[in-house]
Each structure stands twice: as structure tokens, then as C-alpha cells.
Structure 1
């Protein structure tokens, strides 16, 4: 879904788009100038988000970032709203959580990255709850939430895909949630501009953007941990399903790996898979990891194919630089966070 209307509708929708833009700008200004309180947590916060509607690949980037920070010896926690969950309270996410309670993406992060994950409509409340239970956490990564102004952040990663900024208009005349390019935020405590690094998961990266490489792994896994090479299916028809923003991309990537996908089910993003019917006569089922955290409860025989995301060295160096500066600022403040 592009989130962009046909060119004939754009002129009709522009007045609503201008009104929306004004409301977004006013709300942001109210936080920036202190009329609404922006809460600062005692550890650095990195927000991975987007200004485009629809999926752009934030969660795989969040997971790659968390794994990088862990490799640096840092203790990491993750915050999320838990989009699509049927609960509204602030909750801890464990590998055994139910996706309908915490959301499919937070559950995937908890299982894959093995770090503390909390969901909450208020990222501030989720962050405080996480730090209360895990006081040794040194950095928080927020999966989505670029427009969640109540939470002060120390670094932003803004993700784009091949659509770029579309027609450049805000909703509903275009696909943008806020104007781009955007004026830099100022940190609630220091008053310094919050760095915003721009990532692109598809298409051609611009001169000030970081190109993120993504490809399917050459293997698939089952709920019991069994692992199988994709090449073992080359001579066998398989079926595929995907409940992600762009399911056809997943199917295309499977075919690029040489698989004969004879049947595919393109489901809505974050689709509830509890009552999904699967005809095993169509062949083995291949799905994304995001689908697997929901599907395995009812179809443990399904095979999940991991999406491997590689963050460029230059991006990781920039993240490390800004994070070190944020950690120094936090420790220098009167309320600096002490770690074990």
C-alpha cells in the first residue's frame, strides 16, 4: 500500500492535507517550546521511525541495531507501541508472550534479540517500566515512534524505502505523516539538536543517506529449531504466505532463491493468523519470521525464512559516535543513570 491517492484526487485533498500539516506542526511546536512536557529517560534513547505511511522495514533495522549494540557490550532494551495488539496497558514482552497481547513485531524482537522488550501506548511509561525491572540497561531503542513527541530522544533513524517521499504531500493528499525535510528537534534537556540519520531500505540512496542491504537467508527454521536449506526445495513445489506491508516482495525473493512457489497468500500487515486455513497438499509452507511468531502456535510445521539486514559500516560508526556523546551527557547530568 503506497498511501498515495491518484493524481486526480490530490487537488481535492490538499486543503485537508494543509490542515493536517498545520496541526502536526503546532503539536510538535508545543512540545519543543515546553507547553507540553517532553519526558527524558535516564539512559540514551534511539528512535527508529519513518515519516511515510506503511511499512518501510523499521523492525529489521531495529533488530540489526540491537544486535550491533549488544556486540559492543551494551545492555539494550526495546520499546514499542505493539501495533495490532488487543491490549492497551504497558506490558513486558517475553519469548512466550502471545502476539495478540503484545504485537507481532515486539514478540519477534524479544525472541530474536533476547533483550528486554516493553510495549505501551506511552513509550515513556514503557521505558520507565523497563528500566525499573532492568536497571542495568544502558540504552533504549524505540521501534517506531518518530512522531511520539512525549518521549525525548538522543538520536533518530528515519527510514525510507523506494518510494522516497512520494508526491511530497502530507496525509491524505500524500503519504507523509509530517513534512520532509523536517526541522531538527531539540533535546528537551540540553537544547541541542537531535541528530537524525536517514536510511534507505530500497531504491537509490541519496548523498546524505545510508543504504541498508537486505536479503533472505539461505535457510529456513521451524518452531522446534529444525533448520533446512532453501536449496533443498528447488525441485519441490512450495507455498508461501506473508502478512507484511509488501508480501509480494517476500514471494519474489523466494523465487529469486530458485524456489518454485506455486501458491501464495498475501495477507494484510499484522494479520491475525489464528484462523488461517492452510492446505498442506499445496506443499511446505514458507513464511516470514514476523508471521511465524503468530503462525507457529497453530502450524508449528511452517518454515520461517529470516530476512538478513546489514547496516553499513559508516552508519554504525555514526550511531556509535552519537551514542557515546549521549552517554557522556547523561552521565554528566545531575540525574545520570548508574549502571551495574
Structure 2
């Protein structure tokens, strides 16, 4: 049983986070009691994954209100703290969405904001379970095999959400039905979310799997070892373009070449109808040192910089389907999210 990713600790007066930078070696919960601590936790990926960031954003407003009351902040300082939380990572739309979702209740007081944030977390789990059911059904309707061979990229499981998961939620649903043969988990350079986190979840569920280097994904797919790829999303544009962890685009291209489904699993909160296409999505550029060093050990010559975009955008024409709790869309066939607003 996984330790919950993110919960409100009323007794402790803050957000209890499972520090994902320590997995799989250590399972450690940290208590975050200030907005500065939350922004740091988001930036260093102690909490990550679009749905989990949505919950973090909502609970971050509660932190800001508590901090303001505790330290006597004026309204301008409170607003600035909330803005820092809202903009801590630019690509995942759920973070700002979570803040905005509860901010309208600020005039009703801190308890009303907290209640709304807790409802948002519960709704995220319900959405994830429903989209997983729908995504599993969609795959089984199209793949004529008793058990499926799947590939996933990065981590879109319970660790990336309030509970259950999105892409890994689909895989868990299939596993519970006895319909999973094997899962290839891309390691996901440079921070190894696939190797550290996805494998941790798959092992915990007893799902047969292997971790492969990102560069092996295309050969695995084109070599006929995979029936479908299932990934999450950090932002989905109105036209169906999908922003997800860097390397996702290559997986989609390989699936297109192999003629197998490329399924995106994400709650509707990840759909950003205000963003017309992927060209308008801001791609987070992280510290190049994450690429040029492994821990404290340099792996490139002195003076060689690292190019480290955290995400890429897969055009809608290569997205077979997007499974949300509202239903399954097929962008490659012209079925865009904007048509379901």
C-alpha cells in the first residue's frame, strides 16, 4: 500500500507530502507549513504530477491564509505568496487550476477554502478511477489479445495524483481484470521518474514489468513487443495537442509508425481550453546540471552545458485517444477537447 502522495494534516497545520526525491530507497513524509516550503517542494519535485500539483495548489492557498494570519501579512504579501505557488511550475496547468479553483472562496474564510481543496482531492481520485475504466475499455475494444503488452513513459500513477493514477491507473485497471501481460517502463531521464517511481508502483502491484532506457522505446515498439503505449499529460490544448514529460513525443511517433494505439490518460482538469494548440504551451527549462551530472559526479567534460527541457508536445494527429472521466476523445480522428467543452 503506497503512502498517500499529498494530504492535509490539520494537527500539524500543513501539507503532508511523500518526498518523491527519496524513492525508492526511502519512504519519508515531510510536513510543509509555509508557501516558501511548498514552492521549494514543487520545484525540486518532492511533489510532482499534474493532478497532484492541482491538489498542492489548492492546499497552498490554505497554507498562505494560515501563514498570513500567523505572521500578520498585509493583503499584498498574501497575494504575492499565492502567486508564487500558482507559478511554481509553468507547464502543468493543474497547479494554477487548483489555486484558481479555491481562490474564489477566499472571502468566505479559510475553512471554506480548505473544504473546497479537500473536495478537489476527492474528486481527483474519482476522476482517475473513471478515466482508467474508460481507457481500459477503449484499449480492449481495439486490441485482440487476451493480455496486453504495454509501454509507459515517466510516472502517471498514484504518486502523480491524489490517489490511483492516470496512465498507471489504466494499467492497474487492466491488471485487476487479468488483462496485463507485461509493462515496459521508460527510465525517464534525467531524473528517472520511470525507473524510481513507476517501477516502484508496478512492483508494489505485482505487475510484470521491466525498466528500459528511453532510447530503447522506439525499438521496443517497432520490434512488435508492445500492443499500446499509455502515458499521462501535464497540459492538453483545446485542439488535442498534449504536453507531457520529455521523450513522450518519440514514443508517439514510434506508435504511429508501428500502427499501434498511443493513449493519453488525464483528468479533464488537465485540459486547457484557453490554450488553442501546443505551440502556446510554455515548456519548463530545468537546470542543465540535472543532465550533466549524476548526483555530485560530473558525466560530461568541464564547460559542456546541459539542455534540459522538462516536457515536449505531441501534436494531436499522433494522439490516438485521450481518456478522461468525461469520456474518450480521439484527436487523431479530429475529435478535439474543444468539441466537448
Using structure 2 for the length normalisation, give the TM-score: 0.27
Of structures 1 and 2, the larger Rg is shown by 1
- Larger helix proportion of the pair: 2
Structure with the greater relative contact order (CA < 8 A, sep ≥ 6): 1 or 2?
1
Relative to the length of structure 1, the TM-score reads: 0.27
